[in-house]
Structures are given as C-alpha cells and as structure tokens.
C-alpha cells in the first residue's frame, strides 16, 4: 500500500496556483529532500511508486506543473525557465532551500533548466527519459501534436501515447495502469497542452548544460523511442561527470514502469548529498 501524500498549493510569481504532493511523515523532518517534476500531460502522482520505494529514506515533493493536474491552467506561452521558477516557488512554500531534483521527459527539461539557473538549490540531479534538445524537426513535430489535440481533443492522441509510454510486456501485465494514465492524459486542457508542446518544440537546453556542476544521473528506458538512449548519451556527455544508466525493461515512463531503478538512482545521490 502506497502511503497517501500530503497535498497543498503554492503561488507562482505571476499568481498562478501550483499544486504539489509531499510524501513524508511528521517524524521524518530530518530526512533529505527530493523534488520531482512530471512528464507532459501527466501530474505529480506519477512519482508515487518512487515515493513508496524511498519511504523512510527521503522526503519527496512532486509538483503539478502549471497547466497540468490540479495547478492553475494559466495560458501560454510557457518556457522551461518559467516552469523551473515555479518549482522554486513550491520549494520556497515548503521551506526547502535546496534538494535533490529529478524530472522525467518534460520534467527532465525543467530539471535541467532549474539546475542551471538555480545551482545553489540543487544537491543532485536525476534526469529520466529526457533530452536537452529534441532535434532539428522538433518544432514541426510538436506543432502537429498540438494541432491534433486542439482540433480533435486529447483522446485523439491516446493511441499514440499508449504505444510510447510502456513496454508491451508491462501493458499486458498491468492494463489498468495504462488506462489510469490515459485517463489523466485525456483530462488535460488542450490549450495548455498545446502551449507545453510548443515549449518543448522550441527548447534547446544544450547551452545550459556546462553550467550544471551537481552530481548527475541520466537514466533512460532501453526501449524508449521518444527520447532514445542516443539522446540520453548526448545529454550525459554535456554535463560534467554525469553518469548514464540504461534501464532494462522500460520504455518512456520509467518512474511508473521501473520505479525501483529510479529510486535506486536517487538513493545513490542521497548518499552523496550534503547532510
């Protein structure tokens, strides 16, 4: 049984309400903090398996990015810097001056930006199934995805997402998990989704990578076709001292499919973080 998190709200600098989840008990105040950012069109609950695996080892904070989950559905345009500043606002609201920071997919882009722009607040970095740049065709590819959502609704993209998120073995063994996340995906506001797609299409975080000096782990699902291992290798190569791990039996949402592997990477950084 996964322990239910505390929930709350913080306020961004522009007044947007930001929802968050916090996994820790009152007697765990001394445990090290870990702040996590979810992937596109999902929410902070995607980290609950990781939270369960790290119970008693860390306090976990998971934000709902603006335009997602229970956070305010403020209109775009969005930027990774804006999302990174939102994470800073949430950390401020819970009294965390610094934390180990992690992100998956879109959340990994936000975590890179946060680590570069708020270096004093990052004690370690875990980048999961993500990239610093989606490539020369990114702007058009993300625009097409956004236009599909705006014209036909989020459900029109469900089949596309179902094929990318998890391995076929996982989907066959746990079809209810896929259905849960497809429901979360379909509940998104199409305009906010389109703004986030545009953000990712425009994002090129490669110039920021040399500014990241914190201990960093880059993890990628072996079968990830959305941000494949080649992208992960390039990302790790751009960050001094970063270590790369390819996760067997995982596709694009490793924190859900293989929370044990993500928790192990975070635990390794916890042992290296300042106490």
Query: At the topology level of CATH, where does 6-272 sit?
Result: Rossmann fold (3.40.50)
Reading the block at residue 204, the tokens are: 């090129």
pLDDT band at residue 24 under the 50/70/90 scheme: confident
Whose structure tokens read 């004093």? 120
Summary mean pLDDT of the chain? 96
Render the burial of 81-111: b for 16+ CB within 10 Å, e for the rest: bbbbbbbbbbbeebebebbbbbbbbbbbbbb
pLDDT band at residue 30 under the 50/70/90 scheme: confident
How do the domains of the chain map onto residue ranges?
6-272
Taking only the tens place, the pLDDT of each residue in 185-205 is 999 999 999 999 999 999 999
Render the burial of 175-198: b for 16+ CB within 10 Å, e for the rest: eebbeebbebbeebebebbbbbbb
State mean pLDDT over 103-131.
98
Taking only the tens place, the pLDDT of each residue in 88-98 is 999 999 999 99
State mean pLDDT over 143-170.
97
Q: Tell me what pLDDT residue 169 has.
A: 96
Reading the block at residue 93, the tokens are: 């609201």
Q: How far apart are CA 8 and CA 204, in angstroms?
A: 32
Give yes or no for a contact between 195 and 77, defined as CB atoms under 8 angstroms apart.
yes
Q: Tell me what pLDDT residue 1 has.
A: 45
Q: Quote the percentage of the chain above a pLDDT of 90.
A: 94
Q: Quote the percentage of the chain above a pLDDT of 70.
A: 97
pLDDT band at residue 274 under the 50/70/90 scheme: low
Q: How far apart are CA 33 and CA 58, in angstroms?
A: 6
């Amino acid at each position: 049984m996964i322990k239910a998190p505390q929930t709350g709200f913080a306020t961004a600098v522009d007044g947007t309400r930001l929802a968050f989840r916090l996994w820790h008990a009152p007697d765990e105040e001394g445990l090290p903090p870990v702040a996590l950012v979810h992937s596109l069109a999902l929410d902070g609950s995607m980290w609950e398996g990781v939270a369960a695996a790290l119970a008693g080892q860390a306090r976990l904070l998971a934000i709902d990015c603006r335009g997602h989950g229970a956070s305010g559905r403020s209109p775009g345009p969005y930027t990774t810097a804006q999302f990174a500043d939102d994470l800073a606002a949430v950390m401020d609201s819970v009294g965390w001056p610094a934390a180990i920071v992690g992100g998956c997919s879109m959340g990994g882009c936000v975590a890179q930006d946060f680590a570069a722009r708020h270096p004093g607040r990052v004690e370690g970095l875990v980048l999961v199934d993500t990239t610093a740049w989606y490539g020369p065709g990114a702007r058009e590819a993300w625009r097409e995805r956004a236009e599909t959502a705006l014209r036909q609704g989020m459900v029109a993209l469900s089949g596309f997402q179902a094929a990318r998120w998890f391995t076929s073995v996982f989907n066959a063994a746990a079809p209810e998990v896929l259905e849960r996340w497809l429901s979360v995906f379909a509940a998104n506001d199409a305009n906010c989704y389109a703004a986030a797609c545009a953000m990712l299409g425009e994002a090129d975080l490669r110039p920021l990578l040399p500014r990241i000096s914190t201990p960093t782990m880059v993890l990628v699902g072996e079968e990830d076709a959305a941000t494949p291992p080649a992208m992960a290798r390039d990302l790790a190569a751009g960050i001094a001292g970063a270590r790369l791990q390819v996760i067997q039996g995982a596709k694009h949402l490793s924190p859900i499919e293989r929370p044990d592997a993500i928790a192990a990477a975070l635990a390794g950084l916890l042992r290296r973080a300042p106490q």
